[in-house]
Amino acid sequence: MPVISAPYAFNESGLYVDLQSIFGHALYLKCEGFNFAGSIKLKAANEMVRLAERDGLLTQDSILVESSSGNLGVALSMIAASKGYRFLCVTDSRCNLSTRLLMEALGSEVHVVSEVDPKAGALGARIDYVRELCASDERYVWLSQYTNPGNWRAHYQTTGPEIAGHFPRLDVLFVGAGTTGTLMGCARYFRERRPSVRIVAVDVVGSVAFGGEPGRRMIPGLGMSMRPPLLDESYVDEVIRVEEADTIRTCHRLARRGFLFGGSTGTVVSGAVDWLNRHDTPGITAVGIAPDLGERYLDTMYQTNWLRDLYGEHILDSEQQTTVGSHGPSPHPGRTPDLGSRGHNPSDRP
């Protein structure tokens, strides 16, 4: 029985959901939402704060500041409250109301940028505001999740090894792409330890993380309006882009089976199921990472009026809720392992 004295000291690392009965494929979903921050962002937040403390950047007079669409802001709010730091989260209108209220309940200040940069979007406006704050007062300490190596190192040290330990014969790993901290940490780990594992990045349509044209994105979490500074595409074998409508249908399909997940998770599952539909390889061992749970999306993705206003009356009417990533895969040159060369091994099960 775990006994902790700090909320960031606990994170459930070994829970997986087998989605075969829902989607017809043996896809194991690593659930990262069972900690006091409610998402995988706790890992990156912990490591970035630890490094800032180690380097002497944080003192009791410091004010932590970070740009976040939600989950990292909650994780930093929790850590700041536990350690006695002040924290200011700079976000935008896509941040769910429940997430903002949660950060404020933890004692943080939340600033919502109202003007969007015409070229860099809401993210650019958030970063500009953070830079202005830091220039105006030396007490502000910006961890910069977009450039901080602690972001990907957290997953190199934890998420990657956790998956490898549960699935010694892993064939393919699906990871959502936002700042690409989780993606790069896991990809680097498996490239060094198990280079045969295929790394598939799951992005959203409208994101420019891997190139392409920018577009409207209403669900916070994955996707970027700029190229992520942490991204090294040489570690990625393939990219799948998912339409937000497919993310929503996936989340609702999971909810109808009792699994309430967040938007980032719906995107990852949608992309993974699409990939598995096109690679019908018997015995393949596939894992996807579920960054968060769904409670914080009740007033958006799970709210009928919100859905209809943004995506149309019939967004949930189609029984084609099998979640097909509309733009399909973008293969990356390089390793193409024989995914059918391994038989399924019961030891791969969580």
Picking from 142, 176, 209, the residue at the C-terminal end of a domain is: 142
169: in domain: yes
Pair (179, 138) in one structural domain: no
Beginning with the edge strand found earlier in the chain, give each strand of the sheet holding 63-67 in spatial order.
109-112, 86-91, 63-67, 140-142
Report how far residue 11's alpha carbon sits from residue 14's, in angstroms, rounded to the nearest whole number: 9
3-state SS class at 319? coil
**pLDDT tens digits for range 65-98:** 999 988 999 999 999 999 999 999 999 888 889 9
Give the ranges where 206-298 is alpha helix by DSSP (H). 244-255, 263-278
Pair (257, 201) in one structural domain: yes
Pair (162, 265) in one structural domain: yes
Question: Which residue range forms the structural domain that includes residue 82?
Answer: 41-142
Least confident of 91-95, 119-123, 326-330: 326-330
**pLDDT exceeds 60 at position 262:** yes
**pLDDT exceeds 90 at position 216:** no
> Do residues 73 and 108 touch, judged by C-beta distance below 8 A?
yes
- pLDDT band per the 50, 70, 90 thresholds, residue 266: very high
Q: Give pLDDT, residue 324.
A: 42
Closest CA to 104 of 127, 74, 84, 79: 74
**pLDDT exceeds 60 at position 112:** yes
Q: Domain of 236: which CATH number?
A: 3.40.50.1100
Cα–Cα distance list, 51 to 109, 114, 185, 271 (Å): 23, 32, 16, 33
The stretch 145-154 carries a mean pLDDT of 97
The amino acid at 28? Y
Pair (319, 206) in one structural domain: yes
Global confidence as pTM:
0.89
150: in domain: no
Pair (291, 196) in one structural domain: yes
**pLDDT exceeds 60 at position 319:** no
- pLDDT band per the 50, 70, 90 thresholds, residue 34: very high
Q: Give pLDDT, residue 347.
A: 39
Q: Give pLDDT, residue 214.
A: 87
246: in domain: yes
> Do residues 163 and 186 touch, judged by C-beta distance below 8 A?
yes
Pair (26, 70) in one structural domain: no
Domain count, the chain: 2
